[in-house]
Amino acid sequence: MIMFNKTSRRFFLGFAGIVVGSIVIAFIAVYFSPESRFEREVAGLQEQYANDIYGGDTPEETLELFIQALESGDVELASKYFVVEKQEEGLYDLEIASKENNLAKYLDILNNSGRSASKYDDEIRYEIDFFDENKQQIHIEIFTLNTLTDKWKISEI
């Protein structure tokens, strides 16, 4: 007793191929959709933030750690005090500043200027303003709390 003749077998294999192809196409469409890519990026960032041990318990402590790293010439360590998504850019900028001998000028501002600090209303952002001897603002550093590790990170300079 033969269940499938030659024509039925071709039809069945063709139908199965269409079903499998449709499933593969649907998977690819979902996996590579902008929403899925965004979700994977967010999950990756969350993992990076959860594993990020650099930073201080206060914004001022993070600033001091950042300054110490710069004073020792370790721009790679200094870049780790930036928020995760700005660490590569920060490293690049600090390397350029180091090559162009601008780190000394930057360190002079960080070490020898007057400071004023204020916490934003959301309690996870903090700003330190730097002033010259004439009380003119010359620099701002903004810090953000990594709520997964409770470490303060530099988010803007």
Exposure string for 64-92, b = 16+ CB within 10 A, e = fewer: ebbbebbeeeebebbbbbbbbebbeebbe
Whether residue 2 has pLDDT greater than 80: no
Cβ atoms 115, 98 nearer than 8 A: no
The pLDDT value given to residue 37:
79
Whether residue 38 has pLDDT greater than 80: no
Q: What is the largest CA-CA distance in the chain?
A: 101
In whole numbers, what is the pLDDT of the chain averaged over residues?
Answer: 88
Whether residue 29 has pLDDT greater than 60: yes
Q: What mean pLDDT do residues 143-147 have? A: 94
Whether residue 49 has pLDDT greater than 90: no
Indicate if the alpha-carbon torsion angle 77, 83, 87, 91 is positive or negative: negative
Domain 55-156 is of which CATH architecture?
Roll (3.10)
Query: Which token pair is 112?
Result: 């020898």
pTM (2 d.p.): 0.73
The pLDDT tens digits for 85-110 are: 999 999 999 999 988 888 988 999 89
